[in-house]
Structure 1
Amino acid sequence: MPGLTGWRAVLLVHRLHFPLPLSYLAYAWWGAAFAAAEPRDLIGGPVLVTVAATVLSLLAGLALNTAADVRTDRHDRDKTALTGAAGRFGSRRIFGWAAAEAIAAMVLAAVVALRLGRWAVPVVLAAALAAHLSYNLEPVRLKRRGLAGPAVFGAGFLAVPGMASYFAVRPALEASMVPVLAGLCVLAFGRTTWFSVPDHEADARTGIGTPGARYGPWRTLLVSCGLVAAGLLLLGAGLWWRYGAAWAITGAVTEGAFLAGMTALAGPRRSLSRMRELATPIVLLGDLSLVAIPLLAG
């Protein structure tokens, strides 16, 4: 791709364009925020190492996805820069990066486990990495298996990894965290389904049975909105249990605000791609709220 520098290509392969890196940090830190008794708990040594391990696991999953999806993404006009970056290095090298990042993540998680005696930390990250492998690679390749793909990807990328930093602060899961985690998993399922809709033409053209390719964009959007609503209800219930009604409403509003991107579907110039573009910056608001609400409410 003309003018694409080496570092810019590396960043694109790992989806590190603004505002996504801030969201990745939020995914890695939200568990510690919910577990912390005071703000300084978020910057303890084991937590910082766990956050670094979690971010590495997320980057490994993104690089793996880039390498696995090159053939499909070449048919997507919105991903010209991404395929250009992938073409600069080749799938084999990107797979190698993903493997190295995953190994580094597990080594750091093991260090934390040995330091604290909490093996839940590497178990959480191993589960997240297993989700990425099953989503991207044959013979499982859940991306081509309808709604199973976004369910596993959403949980393995947006929700579950944050629990690693939770266990770096607390040794056991509090009961009130169950609806919070369940809500985030369902919300991530709906959000991943929603964000995948603009890719439905490229997926259908290359035989990838994503929900958008199988059911069409409008039915998929309807399903995804229902999932988002269910996730917000569960998350709100958990936040209400922990922090009260006002914070539950705040969390539900900030986490659901990305649906405002559907305004791009109104009028004669409606566009699915524009829908995603409008929603991406708003998503950061919800991601940051996961870290902010426990700290402000506490």
Structure 2
Amino acid sequence: MRDWVRVHRLEYPFPVIYLCHALWGASFAATTPADLIKIQTIIAVVANLIPLVAQNLLNGALDVEADSRTPGKGGIATATLNLGRTKVITVAFAEMAVALGLASLVNVVCFTAVALGVLIELAYNLEPVRLKRRGVLNPIFLGIHFSLLPCIGTYAALRNDFPIVIFGGITLLLIARALWWSVPDLRADEASGDRPLAVRHGARTAWLTACAITAAGLLAIGAGLWWRHGPAWAIGVTLVCSMFLVDKLVVLRGLSDTRLPHEKRLRRVSLSFVLVADVTLVLTPLIAG
């Protein structure tokens, strides 16, 4: 069981973060908190949540060598080998199939969002596309998979008047996070022949680019919340979500291609700020009304 938890990346704080990604759309669509326990909402949330976790199985099975060389990720490689790569890949595809089946019970929009997420997972990990090694396309598609698609998929379970500005801002935040998260993997990706932005242009350039994208995302979220809930909510939520950016600017001071942040530090410290921001984005529309 421990190995399955590890390959699904269900250690702190990922389970709550993944759930937030699946809940954002439903929370912004809900007119009352009771909307979140409607059967179509629950099915949509589960359908959009499963691919976010299944992606980790596929990625771990195909990146065993790279993970074994990345500080903090060796446990993922070990767990994958303990379970067997074929079994892990089989379970990943089974989970994706379940997600598609559930999404088909909601509506066409929800099914399309989940299907596009699955396609991105396959394109991200598999040849001949393998988006992971294609520079800027890597964080863009991964960010869309973990934000925009589940936002649309769960929002569509209740409404179809999508808050594009807010969802656009959230997507920018997740693109930036995907870019940041690739920096600790720089040396392992380089050795494996993958060419994400950090390998192509260096750790500091990738980090600064992520900071700029985050700032743009925060502005978009603030603008959308201002229009929807007023200036007090917009300013307060934007400040909470900015804590992660402040932390990244602190890390930047000692960052170089030979001095990379450790995966464990990012997970335990940086992602704690992410957790607070993500939960805030779930609760805000429910409380602000």
What's the TM-score once normalised by structure 1's chain length?
Answer: 0.90
- Runs of 4+ with >6 A deviation: none
Aligned residues: 283
- The offset of 1:266, in angstroms, is 4.6
| Mapping of residues 153-232 of structure 1, within 5 Å | 153-170=142-159, 172-174=160-162, 177-232=163-218
Residues 256, 192 of structure 1: CA spacing in aligned structure 2 closer, same or farther, 3 A cutoff? farther
Instruction: Tell me if the contact between 2:197 and 2:206 (Cα under 8 Å) persists in the aligned partners.
Output: yes
**Which residue among 9, 13, 17 is the counterpart of 2:7?**
13
| Mapping of residues 7-86 of structure 1, within 5 Å | 7-86=1-80
Q: Report the identity percentage.
A: 38
- The offset of 1:52, in angstroms, is 1.3
Q: Which runs of 5+ in 1 are unaligned?
A: 1-6, 114-118
> Residue 284 of structure 1 aligns to which amino acid in structure 2?
L
CA distance in 1, matches of 2:67, 2:101: 32
Aligned to 1:138: 127
CA distance in 1, matches of 2:236, 2:122: 34
- The offset of 1:265, in angstroms, is 4.9
CA distance in 1, matches of 2:84, 2:161: 42
Instruction: Tell me if the contact between 1:259 and 1:279 (Cα under 8 Å) persists in the aligned partners.
Output: no
> Residue 193 of structure 2 aligns to which amino acid in structure 1?
G
CA-based RMSD of the aligned residues comes to 1.7
**Which residue among 91, 95, 102 is the counterpart of 1:101?**
95
SS for the counterpart of 1:21 is: helix
- The offset of 1:267, in angstroms, is 6.6
CA distance in 2, matches of 1:64, 1:249: 39
CA distance in 2, matches of 1:159, 1:85: 30
SS for the counterpart of 2:118 is: helix
Residues 271, 139 of structure 1: CA spacing in aligned structure 2 closer, same or farther, 3 A cutoff? closer
Instruction: Tell me if the contact between 2:23 and 2:151 (Cα under 8 Å) persists in the aligned partners.
Output: yes
> Residue 95 of structure 1 aligns to which amino acid in structure 2?
I
- The offset of 1:275, in angstroms, is 5.1
- The offset of 1:159, in angstroms, is 3.2
> Residue 152 of structure 1 aligns to which amino acid in structure 2?
F
Instruction: Tell me if the contact between 1:265 and 1:275 (Cα under 8 Å) persists in the aligned partners.
Output: no
Aligned to 2:83: 89
- The offset of 1:259, in angstroms, is 2.5
> Residue 182 of structure 1 aligns to which amino acid in structure 2?
G
**Which residue among 104, 118, 123 is the counterpart of 1:129?**
118
CA distance in 2, matches of 1:267, 1:94: 37
- The offset of 1:188, in angstroms, is 1.1
SS for the counterpart of 1:236 is: helix
> Residue 221 of structure 2 aligns to which amino acid in structure 1?
L
- The offset of 1:264, in angstroms, is 4.1
